Amino acid sequence: MQEEKLRISRELHDNIGAQLSFINGSIQSMANADSKNEQLQHTQQVTQNTIKELRSTVWLINQQEFGLEEFVVKLREYLKPYYGSKPNIGIVNQSDKDYSIEPIIATNLFRIIQELVNNAIKHAEANTLEVKLVAEQNKLIVSVKDDGKGYDLNAKLAGYGLKNIQVRVKTMNATCNIDTAISSGTEIYLTIPI
């Protein structure tokens, strides 16, 4: 199975990655020649984000085991483009040592944090957002907290993002609790067996 994962990651990197890099270079040339074209600027940004996503996916596929410290470094790299804008994002690892986490946990957790951060950026109108990880002997506790506008937990929320998070939580045999109210920010707690 690991050989198949490596083959897929090579295909993604060598084939799709190379094509995306070519597209990005072409768009950059056009954008440089027409610097006032906002659609080209936007398309270039989307292409660069897609390349970044592809690199994250290849990294997640390639690993047989993840150290929590390496996971946090990759998470910071992924969120780096958001630094300096609102909300102000902080990532804190309060674990007492570097714990190993399985690939399925790392992949699902990475995608959950991505979704939660994207939701906060799009909807929360927050000033700060903190991702905190604390690993203990047999569990990893992750909280994602913002000081934004919050929402009514009793209101039915539409969208695939939260449904996908629920599926990922179940896949990890984890629990997820949400603490939010209108005008009170949102904090999401994940407890994941490791």
Q: How far apart are CA 147 and CA 178, in angstroms?
A: 14
Instruction: Give me the pLDDT at residue 133, please.
Output: 97
Average pLDDT, the chain: 85
**Considering 20, 46, 62, which residue would you say is the last residue of a domain?**
62
Instruction: Give me the pLDDT at residue 158, please.
Output: 60
- Same domain flag for 31 and 84: no
Q: Pick the residue with more confidence: 17 or 130?
A: 130
Q: How confident is the model at residue 127 (pLDDT cuts 50, 70, 90)?
A: very high
CA gyration radius, the chain: 18
**Considering 62, 89, 115, which residue would you say is the last residue of a domain?**
62
Contact 133, 94 (CB under 8 A): yes
Q: How far is CA 1 from CA 4, 8, 62, 82, 105, in A?
A: 5, 11, 11, 35, 17
Q: How confident is the model at residue 163 (pLDDT cuts 50, 70, 90)?
A: confident
pLDDT digits (tens, 9 = 90+) for 23-80: 878 888 888 888 888 888 888 888 887 877 777 776 776 677 778 998 999 899 888 8
- Same domain flag for 58 and 69: no
Domains held by the chain: number = 2
Mean pLDDT of 101-106: 87
- Same domain flag for 47 and 95: no
Stated pTM of the model: 0.71
pLDDT digits (tens, 9 = 90+) for 133-156: 999 889 999 999 999 999 888 775
- Same domain flag for 55 and 105: no
Mean pLDDT of 107-127: 90
